[in-house]
């Protein structure tokens, strides 16, 4: 494993590691039973415990108990069991409830947490995904093909489905999807139009369209393979320069975090991981408590394609995480390290993690900066510290060396060493 010593990544100190190993929290949730008639009675205490664990205020949990009690009595009055509960049934309950003069008007979404809990404990089944039309039905099958046959990760599947919706909608005439009449001209026209409107999205659109056409051919929707009709997108992945921040600007972002508040301690830990290890926002969001090996000073990262890799945990990043865990993170059932600052205390999403970087940049007066910008900053900082492109690729977990090669463009000292003098002696003679 790459130990990080060549690029200034020092392991956790013994004091920090010991502090974290000693730390432990327990969830103490009161589950005092509340008399309630109806089929939901066996589940109300467990549901309330989940709400409490997710950070809902005690008053809010009490209100949910009341609403669940009303729903349970309504189910009993209509001779319905808990196993039939669905959004549609709740909508019928709310119609009658509002008709009886209840001042608090609830919505179906108010019971989303209850339905999720009942699904988790196996009382009701998962809702079926019903396509809205032919395009949605086809995209649903396409998503299944990408997942099961191609083995693609969910974010990739979602992106390809999203990119192909306009193409399929364009083939719809008079409310019907006419796939057998698709021609090579339809394919090229779509890509050409996309290049004029959204040129940056052309490469992933080309890839998605080829996948869709292969799927349609394999499944018998079209008789001829049309993948050859898809134009080749120009490869300009390494045309630009990585947009890194200088060290003083990264320090300015870290300085915006108020270490006297729980949010500030959390944000400092997040920004330090982004800036020191170049983690992706999604990798920070997926970091779990058991992924941190305090004794060895390592963390396990779940990267693209659900790959697991170990990295050294820098001392400053480890200290920031310790401060957040000891005095900032809400105790609860979630194992993810970073939770939302307000109840319900659920794990942060990748977008929320990236927004932490954006907010810090605004406070530091740096304009628009997203989480991935700090990844570039980490790479260039390692390069400046004497790290090789191979070592940087290991830290950033690039699958291909060509992906790391772009950072050679910002290695000014290295470029000077290989640059030939100009004009050459022959030209000057």
| 400 part of the active site | no
Cα distance between residue 375 and residue 355, in whole Å: 14
3-state secondary structure of 275: helix
| 145 part of the active site | no
Structure tokens at 22: 């000693």
Of 56, 64, 117, 407, the catalytic one is: 407
Of 266, 276, 280, 329, the catalytic one is: 280
Cα angle value 163/168/173 (rounded, 5°): 150
Cα distance between residue 369 and residue 376, in whole Å: 11
* Closest among 279, 289, 285, 352 to 309, alpha carbons compared: 279
The number of C-alpha atoms within 13 Å of 147 and in the hemisphere containing its C-beta is 12
Cα distance between residue 294 and residue 289, in whole Å: 10
Angle of the 262-277 helix axis to the 247-255 helix axis, nearest 10: 160
Q: Quick count: other Cβ atoms within 10 Å of Cβ 86?
A: 15
Cα distance between residue 156 and residue 168, in whole Å: 18
| 291 part of the active site | no
| 409 part of the active site | no
Of 141, 210, 304, 370, the catalytic one is: 304
Burial (0-12, 13-18, 19+ Cβ within 10 Å), 334: buried
Of 160, 375, 376, 397, the catalytic one is: 375
- The answer to whether residues 117 and 46 touch, using CB atoms and an 8 Å cutoff, is yes
First and final CA of the chain: distance in angstroms? Answer: 53
- Which helix (H) or strand (E) covers residue 323, if one does? helix 315-326
Of 119, 296, 370, 398, the catalytic one is: 398
| 407 part of the active site | yes
Cα distance between residue 252 and residue 367, in whole Å: 12
3-state secondary structure of 86: coil
Burial (0-12, 13-18, 19+ Cβ within 10 Å), 250: buried
- The answer to whether residues 279 and 301 touch, using CB atoms and an 8 Å cutoff, is yes
Phi, psi at 32, each rounded to 5°: -60, 130
Cα distance between residue 277 and residue 10, in whole Å: 11
Give catalytic residue positions.
Answer: 280, 304, 372, 375, 398, 407
């Amino acid at each position: 494993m790459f130990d990080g010593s060549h690029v200034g990544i020092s392991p956790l100190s013994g004091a920090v590691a010991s502090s974290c190993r000693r730390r432990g929290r327990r969830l103490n949730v009161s589950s005092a039973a509340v008399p309630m008639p109806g089929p939901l009675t066996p589940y109300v205490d467990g549901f309330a415990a989940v709400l409490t664990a997710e950070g809902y205020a005690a008053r809010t949990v009490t209100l949910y108990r009341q609403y669940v009690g009303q729903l349970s009595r309504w189910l009993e009055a209509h001779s319905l069991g808990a196993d039939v509960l669905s959004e549609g049934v709740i909508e019928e309950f709310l119609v009658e409830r509002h008709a009886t003069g209840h001042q608090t008007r609830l919505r179906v979404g108010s019971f989303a947490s209850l339905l999720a809990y009942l699904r988790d404990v196996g009382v009701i089944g998962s809702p079926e995904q019903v396509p809205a039309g032919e395009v949605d039905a086809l995209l649903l099958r396409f998503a299944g093909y990408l997942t099961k046959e191609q083995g693609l990760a969910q974010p990739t599947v979602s992106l390809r489905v999203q990119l192909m919706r306009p193409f399929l909608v364009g083939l719809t005439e008079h409310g019907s999807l006419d796939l057998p009449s698709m021609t090579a001209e339809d394919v090229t026209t779509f890509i050409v139009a996309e290049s004029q409107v959204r040129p940056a999205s052309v490469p992933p659109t080309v890839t998605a369209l080829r996948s869709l056409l292969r799927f349609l051919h394999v499944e018998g929707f079209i008789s001829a393979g049309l993948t050859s009709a898809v134009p080749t997108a120009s490869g300009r992945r390494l045309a630009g320069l990585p947009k890194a921040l200088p060290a003083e600007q990264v320090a300015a972002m870290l300085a915006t975090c108020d270490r006297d508040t729980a949010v500030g301690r959390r944000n400092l830990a997040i920004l330090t991981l982004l800036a020191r290890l170049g983690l992706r926002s999604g990798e920070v969001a997926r970091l779990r408590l058991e992924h941190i090996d305090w004794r060895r000073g390592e963390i396990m990262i779940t990267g693209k394609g659900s790959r697991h890799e170990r990295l050294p945990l820098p001392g400053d990043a480890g200290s920031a995480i310790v401060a957040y865990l000891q005095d900032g993170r809400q105790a609860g059932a979630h194992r993810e390290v970073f939770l939302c600052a307000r109840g319900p205390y659920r794990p942060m999403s990748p977008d929320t993690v990236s927004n932490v970087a954006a907010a810090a940049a605004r406070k530091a007066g740096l304009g628009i900066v997203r989480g991935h910008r700090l990844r570039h900053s980490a790479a260039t900082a390692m390069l400046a510290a004497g790290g090789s492109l191979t070592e940087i690729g290991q830290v950033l977990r690039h699958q291909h060396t060509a992906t790391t090669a772009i950072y050679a463009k910002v290695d000014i000292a290295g470029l000077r060493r290989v640059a030939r003098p100009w004009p050459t002696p022959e030209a000057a003679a």
